[in-house]
Amino acid sequence: MRTSTPAEPGSAAEAAEGEVEFWAELADRWSPQARPEQWADRPAREVEVVLFFDPGDDLARRASRWGHTLPGDGLDALARFAAGLARAEADAWREGRDDVALQAFEERRFLLSDRILHWAVPWLGTMGRCYPEVREDAYRFHDDLLQLADVMRPAPRLTGTEGVHPPGEDSYGPVALEVTLSRWLASLWSGSLLLDATIRSMTGSARASVPFSEADLPDGLAADLATLYVVNAARWHGIAERHPGSAALWLDLGDRARRTADRLLDGATSPALPED
């Protein structure tokens, strides 16, 4: 896919215009109207995927600076906002308003890095694995977002992390929260995104859903979940190797998955994930 970089005005304008098409297609193909079954399982909203953070106020404030009113905070709404920013950048380059073009680029880079990439890539990848009928489309946009991040480099691998995040936090947030295990496992912050489809497949129960009660866990499910987290830890680390522009996110997510797997195998009900 073509991406926008603040380089020569002509080439940057063309790249931004290519990005308009990408974001618009993402919005159309992954709206709740286009993918009702997937949205019913886990809505494509950061607050529904992460659970412990709601970006709504910040998104509304940022959109208002560009005269845009977000109709919601779902992936489709954010993609349309990104498409609008890419269009604003392209037009500004062609009109010689370089300062506006750079502002639009930086706003879109923030939108990608802090409001889309960290949860939408796991959401699309998990949907692709759990719903074969949308697998090809999910993986395509999953990969395109990672490729875009390789150009914009919102979260490159760091040689050291001291002082980058507050103590007890990583690029996602706190590594431990005082919530129930089931609540922790329902969040991407655990290191994996568990869907209702995931739990139904693992339990054989058509009524199983996330979050679930520890009392309802069948024998052996904790070990099965631990295996899933170990697999996902390896997956995140593999993505980090292939996509250096966002590697810091996936390394942190891989470490979270590994810690959660350890807690599940220990039989602990607390979600506390101590630092190594």
pLDDT digits (tens, 9 = 90+) for 14-58: 999 999 999 999 999 999 999 999 999 999 999 999 999 999 999
- Does 2 score more than 60 pLDDT? no
Q: Are 169 and 267 in contact (CB under 8 A)?
A: no
120 CB-side CA count, 13 A: 30
Query: Could you state, in order of their start, the residue ranges of all structural domains in the chain?
Result: 9-152, 181-266
pLDDT-based confidence at residue 116 (cuts at 50, 70, 90): very high
Contacts of 101 by beta carbon, 8 Å cutoff, 6+ apart:
6, 9, 12, 13, 16, 88, 89, 90, 92, 93
Token output for 192 = 């994996």
Instruction: Evaluate whether 27 touches 83 at the Cβ level (below 8 Å).
Output: yes
Mean pLDDT of the chain: 89
**What is the reported pLDDT for 180?**
85
Residues constituting the chain: 276
Q: Which helix (H) or strand (E) holds 178?
A: none
Residue (of 190, 168, 167) closest to 180 by Cα position: 190
In single-letter form, the type of residue at position 237 comes to H
Lowest mean pLDDT among 64-73, 120-129, 189-198, 211-220: 211-220
- Asked whether the predicted pLDDT for residue 3 surpasses 80, the reply is no
Give bridge partners of residue 175 from the DSSP assignment.
Answer: none
Q: What's the whole-model pTM score?
A: 0.90
CATH of domain 9-152: 1.10.3480
Asked if the model's pLDDT at residue 158 lies above 80, the reply is no
Query: CA 206 to CA 201: how far, in whole Å?
Result: 8
DSSP 74: B
Beta bridge partners of 169: 174
CA-CA distance, 78 to 94, in Å (whole number)?
Answer: 25
> 111 falls in which pLDDT band (50, 70, 90)?
very high
Q: What pLDDT is recorded for position 35? A: 98
Torsion of CA 135, 137, 141, 144, to 10 degrees: 100
